Amino acid sequence: MINKLRAAGAILIGKAAMIELAGGMGYRFASASISGEARNPWDQTCWTCGSSSGSGAIASAALAAFAIGTETWGSIICPSAFCGVSGLRPTYGRVSRHGAMALSFSMDKIGVLGRTADDCGLVLAQIAGHDAQDRASLRDAAFSYAASSSVTPLRIGWLTNAWKKVPADIEAVVNAAVNVLKKNGAVVKDAKLPEGPWEAAAGTVISVEGAAAFESLIESGRVAELNDPLGKVAAYVNQQIPASDYVRAVRIRTVLQKKIDQLFDRFDVIASASLPVTASPLTANLETDLDFPDPLGGIGNFCGL
């Protein structure tokens, strides 16, 4: 991916801060990073979200034209939402992960955070494509992008069950965006994400695959060096998850993927607020203050969207 960017003329100017192990061992606090809490450019008493925390801050503060992030569950979408930028989480397999740290091999994705959707589209066009060095890379992964104001006859599914409750100010912003699409010819109808034990299943897959990816780190005892107390313990708990639980989770994913395919038979795009909250304080306990189901991150990443 870096080689493709350089070949296209991009200049790598630095590496961004992030949550330790991309959040793979779990974390309770924004301080779960070797560089400390990532401060939100809009309000430095607030967090950027993670795990691509530095990438969100960089894109928001215009310190670079764009930033690269990774996502297994929310690590691009959440920083984009908290920092007020565009985040593009590509389809699983569209962008090669060769050279990137693995967390969950069946869910990890590399994407873009930029000031605008146009910026993200332009970058994706350069980094997408098949790569034999990533066994999950799609054969037909190339992507071309041309900005257009026409969305006719785009079919948009407005998700009515993404969040239990969305604050009025967030809902107003999202509705305004959807209305712009309507005015430009898009057809918007109500839609629902499939129901099922997606949260437990996706969590099981990440936990098991993460324990395998970080096995040498765990066995060495160096997880004790992590900043967040949850990660120091969760690593060992994840190693104890039975193989039968993992197999059941993978089977649940197959069922959910079929339901997602049926949803996209009806719609080209699904739309919703990225999150039902705004940026949280740096001191927030993430297990309690941001404790809500995340179907966009959970079902979306679990099914490869």
Helix (H, G, I), strand (E, B) or coil at 134: coil
Distance separating the N- and C-terminal Cα atoms of the chain? 19
Predicted local distance difference test score (pLDDT) of residue 132: 96
- DSSP string covering 238-253: HTTS-HHHHHHHHHHH
Predicted local distance difference test score (pLDDT) of residue 147: 78
Q: H-helix or E-strand containing 165?
A: none
Domain of 198, in residue numbers: 2-302
- The region of weakest confidence among 47-56, 58-67, 139-148 is 139-148
Predicted local distance difference test score (pLDDT) of residue 291: 83
What backbone torsions phi and psi does residue 241 show, to the nearest 5 degrees?
Answer: -70, 125
CA 53 to CA 102: how far, in whole Å? 18
Amino acid at 82: F
Q: Is the peptide bond before 35 cis (omega within 30 degrees of 0)?
A: no
The residue whose two tokens read 């990443």 is 301
pLDDT at 289 over 90: no
**What tens digit of pLDDT does each residue of 230-278 get?**
999 999 999 999 999 999 999 999 999 999 999 999 999 999 999 999 9
- The region of weakest confidence among 27-36, 149-158, 281-290 is 149-158
Predicted local distance difference test score (pLDDT) of residue 149: 63
Question: Which residues on adjacent β-strands are paired with residue 67?
Answer: 113
Question: How many domains does the structure of the chain reveal?
Answer: 1
With a pLDDT cut of 70, the percent of the chain lying above it is 100
Predicted local distance difference test score (pLDDT) of residue 127: 98
- What predicted TM-score, i.e. pTM, was given to this entire model? 0.95
Cβ of 39: how many Cβ atoms within 10 Å? 18
The burial of 189, by beta-carbon neighbours within 10 Å (0-12 exposed, 13-18 middle, 19 or more buried), is given as exposed
In Å, what is the CA distance from 191 to each residue of 32, 97, 112, 266, 269?
Answer: 36, 32, 27, 9, 10
**What tens digit of pLDDT does each residue of 104-139 get?**
999 999 999 999 999 999 999 999 999 999 999 999
Predicted local distance difference test score (pLDDT) of residue 152: 78
The helix/strand count (H/E) of the chain reads as 11, 8
Question: Which residues on adjacent β-strands are paired with residue 190?
Answer: 158
pLDDT at 80 over 90: yes
Q: Strands across the sheet with 66-71, in order? A: 66-71, 109-114, 86-88
CA 96 to CA 84: how far, in whole Å? 26
Q: Which residues, including other chains, have CB under 8 Å from residue 289's CB and lie 6 or more apart?
A: 280, 281
Q: Yes or no: say if 18 and 33 are a contact pair by the CB < 8 Å rule.
A: yes
The domain that holds 227 is classified in CATH as 3.90.1300.10
Q: Quick one: average pLDDT of 160-172?
A: 92
CA 148 to CA 168: how far, in whole Å? 30
